[in-house]
Amino acid sequence: MGTIRLMKAAVDYALRFKRKSVTIVHKGNIMKFTEGAFRDWAYGAAERIYGDKVYTWAKWEKTKKEKGEEAANAEQKAALAGGALLIKDAIADIALQQVLTRPTDFDVIATLNLNGDYLSDALAAQVGGIGIAPGGNINYVTGHAIFEATHGTAPKYAGKDQVNPGSVVLSGEMMLRHLGWVEAADLILKGLNGAIASKRVTYDFARLMEGATEIKCSAFGDNMITNM
């Protein structure tokens, strides 16, 4: 049931926000009865629940076996041209490489907790670290959700007006988007993007950006508002 709930959440999100693909990340090549089963259950759930709204690599493999690769490629091309969402999979260690070298190959990722931790931290490092990585814990069945920064409390920085507020701010953006307040969420992204582009940033970004000016947390917030 957990796999079905996770896959339904991933596909519903992808369809709602008009994404192009969902990638199932697993280590099923060696963990066949656990992560391999997760992959198979995820494909099965997608096909059973969504039908023609999705096209899976599992279906591609079946068509290839029965009719040949050319027929499978033609079937996939026709399905995607008709607006179907592509459901594919990737081995975890390969995915960890490709999210860095070929990020446009990934859109929505459905994976297990351990692989998800590796992927989220690796990707956060590409955009400045966990100081800007948001988090959301969403139950798409009940609608209950909690949004929070992915980093810890860092008590040694309390009251110093130094830390990057990006993780908390973007968690709020995710909350607004979850509630359907898309315009407000887009405005937050506009403000944050503009603030970073101005190179007037908190210390963690300043040490990574050439020509940046280090400013306090509160000043970064003001900079965001100016750029909205």
The answer to whether residues 28 and 39 touch, using CB atoms and an 8 Å cutoff, is yes
81 φ/ψ angles, rounded to the nearest 5 degrees? -65, -30
Q: Among 50, 52, 69, 53, which Cα is nearest to 61's?
A: 69
Q: Among 213, 178, 172, 212, which Cα is nearest to 192's?
A: 172
Predicted pLDDT at 153 = 81
73-105 pLDDT, tens per residue? 999 999 999 999 999 999 999 999 999 999 999
| Helix spans in the chain (H) | 2-16, 35-50, 57-67, 69-81, 92-101, 113-126, 166-178, 182-197, 203-206, 217-226
* Residue 54 reports pLDDT greater than 90: yes
Fold classification of 1-126 is Isopropylmalate Dehydrogenase (3.40.718)
pLDDT band at 121 (very low <50, low <70, confident <90, very high): confident
* Residue 125 reports pLDDT greater than 90: no
155-180 pLDDT, tens per residue? 898 999 999 999 999 999 999 999 99
Show me where the domains of the chain are located.
1-126, 128-228
Predicted pLDDT at 90 = 97
Task: Tell me the average pLDDT across 199-210.
Answer: 93
Predicted pLDDT at 65 = 96
Predicted pLDDT at 112 = 96
The answer to whether residues 133 and 167 touch, using CB atoms and an 8 Å cutoff, is yes
What percentage of residues in the chain have a pLDDT greater than 70? 100
Task: Tell me the average pLDDT across 115-122.
Answer: 91
What's the longest Cα–Cα distance across the chain? 66
pTM assigned to the model = 0.82
pLDDT band at 150 (very low <50, low <70, confident <90, very high): confident
pLDDT band at 221 (very low <50, low <70, confident <90, very high): very high
Predicted pLDDT at 130 = 79
Predicted pLDDT at 131 = 81
pLDDT band at 36 (very low <50, low <70, confident <90, very high): very high
